[in-house]
Structure 1
Amino acid sequence: MCGISGFWNPSRTNERELRFTLDRMLDVLDHRGPDDRGSRLYVDQGLALGHTRLSIIGLDHGHQPIETTDGDYALTVNGELYNYKRIRTQLGCNNFSTSGKSDSAIALPLYLRDGLSFVEHLRGEFAVVLYDNKKKQLILVRDRFGIKPLYYAMNDNGIVWGSEVKSILKHPDIDPQLCPKAALHQMMQVMVPGSTSFQGVEALKPGHMLIVNLQNGRLEARTKRWWDFVFPESHEENADPEEYVQGVQDRLIDAVATRLEADVPVGCYLSGGIDSCSILGLATTLQQSPVKAFTIAFDSDEYDESNIAKLMADRTGAEQELLRLTEKELYGPAFERATWHAERTFYNTLAVAKWHMSRRVRACNYKAVITGEGSDELFGGYPFFKRDWLGRDDEGGIFAGAILAEEDLQHPAWQDLCGFTPSWMQPWMLTLKRFQPILSSTMQDLFEEYDPVGEVAAAIDPAQVRGRHRLDISQYTWSKTMLEGQILTWGGDRMDMANSMEARPAFLDHHVAEYAVTIPPDVRIRDGIEKWVLREAMVNVLPKELYERKKFAFMAPPAHTDPVKRNAVQEMINHWLTPERVREVGFFDYDRLIQFIDQSWNETDSTVARRNDIVLNHTLQLHMLHGQYVEGLPLPVVD
């Protein structure tokens, strides 16, 4: 797991300038790879490849960039390629100057054999940047679900890329400016696939590659989708559910066993949900020694599930590391640092909790953990999936106002695309409505001509949803937006790698995913029980209390639940939402914003209060991002 960065400016061929620029870009990625740093310059092309390394596999043989001995091909890899031993045996990887024993070294011989199709042989989570000097071709690749990040900016001078946007913003050709349209999307939590918070900076979409060629002194680029999360147009009727139960079990065992491969100890994240508990149960069975399990505990019974996690840890004999978090840890300096790492806003301080957890993992001398992300996306675990297929069955409880809407909404773009407006989108439409009255006049004008809800729908490939089952449509649209843009970024990679720690989501192994889409809806959700097929596959792993438990919201307690938390948020408001900064950022009307904040603290309806907390988080962070990236303010120290 690493950080990668670089640029290609054909008109700039000064070696000193190239090296100085690349060093600045790599400096801000040091947290992604503190164990080693490498670079490869093609000075006559104005091209630079850079890498910071977190050593997990091939501890003494993983220096990057990796290149052929003749120097005609070079690449950098961020992530893990789990099938490297088999491919290395088949192809032989000894004709390289360095890194022949690392997992990343298989990518170049695959490319030399198969061309662009080399990515189809890669198993794992990865971002790859490969330069072919013979063809004067640069290839950027992102893994199937977007577990590993990769961003780029392209203008008349050339292309700049990096594992994180902050690296790109260090290039002299890139002016760090927040994008007003992206700000609207952050207010409603849902980004357009491929977009970022910053003007001119794009995210390479999951399962895509960007191919850049030098033509007549200029760079020309095209994108190519090489994989997608494809549901069939019809499912087997009256299928034998036991066949699918066994199929899930077999593939998940293999996925977890594969992710235990490392030259350092591998632990597990453990919440009280069946996803992480299943991972821990399988890892315990597959590994001879006890597994280290890391659990977050909150100071609110309504949001805390550490008691269930402890039950699972006791059952498996895992050594459990319990991290208890209060308002002291969730707000203030840690909130600001998490925002800097996220490079976008987040609706809940779960991101801050994850930042603290990865720090604890490193303090325990672990560099890698297996996690449970992706299970809900594959097996229909979220309550909004069930609502889209089976209709309303409750008022949402603590989900209401955050991930379930208390009223039914429709949007014409989504109605046209899906035949309905997915339930996962509806609460964010309501959140955007809460923002509308406090926007500045400039943003009000933008909102009149730009429809953020419709723009998200426009980014979905209609060929992948039309004619599909409602549950498939809901799972697909969520996975193409919120899985990558939320769960795998500020809820995953960005908070984990902030403290040089690698997360391995076993459920998102593509062998598991490609099988999961074939499972009929009434086997995924059976008799109203979400993730039924997974529960049955793990019946011998999970405690009875967990096997029978409904989906729980893994969120940190919002500020309105505790006067101490409200005070902590108000301190941040006093510091960040000054009249001068609000006017400078330009997204909000200061007077209406302050009036909204005052009214929020007096809100008695829990659903509205929960949504108000979301508004406050996004508002604070938009101003933090401006301060951190546009103004260049220093980051606070966290005790």
Structure 2
Amino acid sequence: MCGIAGALSLNPEETLPASIAQAMCDVIVHRGPDDEGILAEGPLSIGMRRLSIIDLEGGQQPIWNQARDIAVFQNGEIYNFNELRRDLESRGHTFHTASDTEAILRLYEEYGTDCVKHLRGMFAIAIWDRNKRRLMLARDRLGIKPLYYSTENGRLLFGSELKSLLAAGMSRELDRQALHDYLTLTHIPAPQSIFRAARKLEPGHRLIVENGNIRDETWWELDMTPAHFSSEGEILERIRASVDDAVRSHLVSDVPLGVFLSGGVDSASLVAGMRRHHSGELKTFSIGFEEKTFNELDRARIAAKHYDTEHHELIVRPDATELVPELVASFDEPFADSSAIPVLSVARLAREHVTVALSGEGGDEIFAGYKTYSATMLAGWYRQYVPGFARRIVPAIVDRLPVSHGRLSFDYMAKRFVRGAENPPMASHLAWKAIFDETRKASLYSDEGEGLEGTLRLFERAAAGVPEKDILAQLLAADTKVGLEGDMLVKADRMTMATSLEGRVPLLDHHLVELVASIPSRWKMKRMTKKYLLRKAMEPYLPHETLHGPKQGFNV
């Protein structure tokens, strides 16, 4: 785990100094306090900050080939690097370190830019091919690791965080469309950033710079095409095996690791998997709140006791506002997911004991765990079976419900439901999530948002290619490509990296994601049960309270 940053002149005759990469790396020391590597040659100035996880002594970057004409920088972890190493050695490649980054180097020697298709893990990588004068930037399939870039004044700037690009002099003009979408989503989705000059490299994409030309290519895309399964039993068995394999693969480390334990099915499934593959001391970390409606420490304790873990917990109190300056500094752009506060708190707690922590991000988007999915299905039935005259008076009745300040109270959900129930499914789904809708946003602008596109376009684009009749598959595709990448994974990366902790997300192992994406929607929310398949698959391993209690997670 680390941070990468650099600059490449599109003029091959220009020479960039090492001081550019140095300045870009100096602002991301928190991502890698253990080591630094800088490379400056000709038009390239690139560097990295390293948090040592694998091959502590031999994993310095960049990793060079023997001819010293190919160099690799990486932020992330490659979980199948040992298997890759065995295969590449059988093809005649010689390894000189035990690091996962060298596996990327040898793959590039063997497969060129398609090397990324062989990687299993989370990564943002930069490969410099001196002979071809080619720079390749690539991001993992789901966008677990971030990568920003900018092209201004004849240079390509890139880095793990926006602050590196700003340190290299990138212009700061705001992107109004990005701000417009933020007001609805509370985050800025790829490929946008808050600055017009900067873009996020999208998940499953690679950027190839060669001969002064820049190509943005898609190398992986989520396929939601249903496959054939003979029975529910077959599906559950395959999910069990895939979750187990994902957790096992994510345990590779030369430093201590633990798990964020919220008390829900996702994180408990990770602890169960770790316990099957690890008989020694197992550390878990939980956050609680003084307000009972938000607190699920009791369930986390039950799970910790069930798996015999060394359990650590912390109460987040209302005076946690001292964390706000650190939050702002970590995100670099507007981000309003309040659960960043407890995630930062649990990351701080974990970092006192371990260097790597597993967490359950992705479970809701992959296994259909959000209330919005059932709400959108109910909205379809509401429009179909409730007469029009009745639907016209329901909003007035709902608006008069007394306000409750409990988490996801009935009045809150009822008002959200009615607000979006008359819309088509995707618009209804967005209405559940939206902070400001298009009308309210227009009222904030002096020009009423002239020239700005509606935020719904992002969800529709993400679901393009999914059959229109498969509503649940469309919603899952949209949330995976928009909300997961732009909110959940940004929060997980920045809050763990702020404390120099490596966060890993086994439920986003691409083998597991591809398997679940291929399961027909009719199996995924049986009897309107959220995360039905994961619950059923993990039933033999989880405590009753975990399986049947309400899920809250690290929310505020």
| TM-score relative to the length of structure 2 | 0.89
How far apart, CA to CA, are the structure 1 residues paired with 2:12 and 2:415? 52
| Paired residues of 1:362 and 1:500 also in contact (CA < 8 A) | yes
Partner of 2:507: 507
Tell me whether 1:481 sits opposite 2:472 in the alignment. no
Q: Which one of the candidate residues 223, 228, 249 is aligned to 2:216?
A: 223
Give deviations 1:286-336, integer Å, cap 9, x for gaps: 10113100101112111111111111011111111101111222x1x3112
Question: How much has 1:13 moved relative to structure 2?
Answer: 6.8
* Letter of the 1:341 counterpart: S
Question: How much has 1:5 moved relative to structure 2?
Answer: 0.6
Unaligned runs of 5+ in 1: 557-639
Partner of 1:591: none
Give deviations 1:436-480, integer Å, cap 9, x for gaps: 3773xxx331613312324424643622x2346111111001111
Partner of 2:416: 405
| Paired residues of 1:142 and 1:148 also in contact (CA < 8 A) | yes
Question: How much has 1:348 moved relative to structure 2?
Answer: 3.7
Question: How much has 1:345 moved relative to structure 2?
Answer: 2.8
* Letter of the 2:351 counterpart: R
Instruction: Decide whether aligned partners of structure 1 residues 319 and 512 sit closer, same or farther in structure 2, where only a CA change above 3 A counts.
Output: same
How far apart, CA to CA, are the structure 2 residues paired with 1:434 and 1:289? 56
Tell me whether 1:313 sits opposite 2:318 in the alignment. no
How far apart, CA to CA, are the structure 2 residues paired with 1:94 and 1:235? 37
Tell me whether 1:347 sits opposite 2:356 in the alignment. no
* Letter of the 2:134 counterpart: Q
Instruction: Decide whether aligned partners of structure 1 residues 529 and 460 sit closer, same or farther in structure 2, where only a CA change above 3 A counts.
Output: closer
Give deviations 1:120-178, integer Å, cap 9, x for gaps: 11001111111112211111100010000011001241100000111111113x12333
Alignment of 1:469-618 (within 5 A): 469-490=470-491, 492-552=492-552, 554-556=554-556
| Paired residues of 1:150 and 1:161 also in contact (CA < 8 A) | yes
Tell me whether 1:384 sits opposite 2:372 in the alignment. yes
Partner of 1:163: 160
How far apart, CA to CA, are the structure 1 residues paired with 2:180 and 2:191? 15
How far apart, CA to CA, are the structure 1 residues paired with 2:550 and 2:109? 49
Secondary structure of 1:146's match?
coil
| Paired residues of 2:358 and 2:506 also in contact (CA < 8 A) | yes
Tell me whether 1:273 sits opposite 2:269 in the alignment. no
* Letter of the 2:98 counterpart: K
Question: How much has 1:212 moved relative to structure 2?
Answer: 1.1
Question: How much has 1:181 moved relative to structure 2?
Answer: 2.3
| Paired residues of 1:404 and 1:424 also in contact (CA < 8 A) | no
Instruction: Decide whether aligned partners of structure 1 residues 523 and 8 sit closer, same or farther in structure 2, where only a CA change above 3 A counts.
Output: same
Question: How much has 1:192 moved relative to structure 2?
Answer: 4.0
Question: How much has 1:433 moved relative to structure 2?
Answer: 5.7
Question: How much has 1:527 moved relative to structure 2?
Answer: 1.6
Secondary structure of 2:36's match?
strand
| Paired residues of 1:192 and 1:481 also in contact (CA < 8 A) | yes
Secondary structure of 1:471's match?
helix
Tell me whether 1:175 sits opposite 2:166 in the alignment. no
* Letter of the 2:223 counterpart: V
How far apart, CA to CA, are the structure 1 residues paired with 2:413 and 2:375? 15
Q: Which one of the candidate residues 357, 364, 370 is aligned to 2:358?
A: 370
How far apart, CA to CA, are the structure 2 residues paired with 1:126 and 1:403? 41
Tell me whether 1:115 sits opposite 2:112 in the alignment. yes
* Letter of the 1:518 counterpart: S
Instruction: Decide whether aligned partners of structure 1 residues 349 and 514 sit closer, same or farther in structure 2, where only a CA change above 3 A counts.
Output: same
Partner of 2:181: 185
Aligned Cα root-mean-square deviation (Å)? 2.6
Partner of 1:421: 426
Question: How much has 1:520 moved relative to structure 2?
Answer: 2.4
Unaligned runs of 5+ in 2: 383-397, 399-403
How far apart, CA to CA, are the structure 2 residues paired with 1:426 and 1:409? 5
* Letter of the 1:125 counterpart: M
Instruction: Decide whether aligned partners of structure 1 residues 210 and 437 sit closer, same or farther in structure 2, where only a CA change above 3 A counts.
Output: closer
| Paired residues of 2:427 and 2:456 also in contact (CA < 8 A) | no
Secondary structure of 2:426's match?
coil
Instruction: Decide whether aligned partners of structure 1 residues 553 and 296 sit closer, same or farther in structure 2, where only a CA change above 3 A counts.
Output: closer
How far apart, CA to CA, are the structure 1 residues paired with 2:426 and 2:295? 31
How far apart, CA to CA, are the structure 1 residues paired with 2:9 and 2:145? 25
Q: Which one of the candidate residues 234, 237, 252 is aligned to 2:243?
A: 252
How far apart, CA to CA, are the structure 2 residues paired with 1:453 and 1:420? 15
| TM-score relative to the length of structure 1 | 0.78
Secondary structure of 1:489's match?
helix
How far apart, CA to CA, are the structure 1 residues paired with 2:163 and 2:421? 37
Partner of 2:32: 33
Instruction: Decide whether aligned partners of structure 1 residues 525 and 106 sit closer, same or farther in structure 2, where only a CA change above 3 A counts.
Output: same
| Paired residues of 2:135 and 2:210 also in contact (CA < 8 A) | yes
How far apart, CA to CA, are the structure 2 residues paired with 1:207 and 1:445? 37
Give the 4+ runs in structure 1 shifted more than 6 A.
Answer: 12-15, 392-397
How far apart, CA to CA, are the structure 2 residues paired with 1:302 and 1:392? 30
How far apart, CA to CA, are the structure 1 residues paired with 2:22 and 2:472? 47
Give deviations 1:194-243, integer Å, cap 9, x for gaps: 111122100000011111112xxxx21111111112111x4548x41111
| Paired residues of 2:223 and 2:518 also in contact (CA < 8 A) | no
| Paired residues of 2:6 and 2:157 also in contact (CA < 8 A) | yes
| Paired residues of 2:124 and 2:140 also in contact (CA < 8 A) | yes
Secondary structure of 2:482's match?
helix
The count of corresponding residues between Structure 1 and Structure 2 is 530
Instruction: Decide whether aligned partners of structure 1 residues 486 and 306 sit closer, same or farther in structure 2, where only a CA change above 3 A counts.
Output: same
Instruction: Decide whether aligned partners of structure 1 residues 422 and 100 sit closer, same or farther in structure 2, where only a CA change above 3 A counts.
Output: farther
Question: How much has 1:22 moved relative to structure 2?
Answer: 1.2
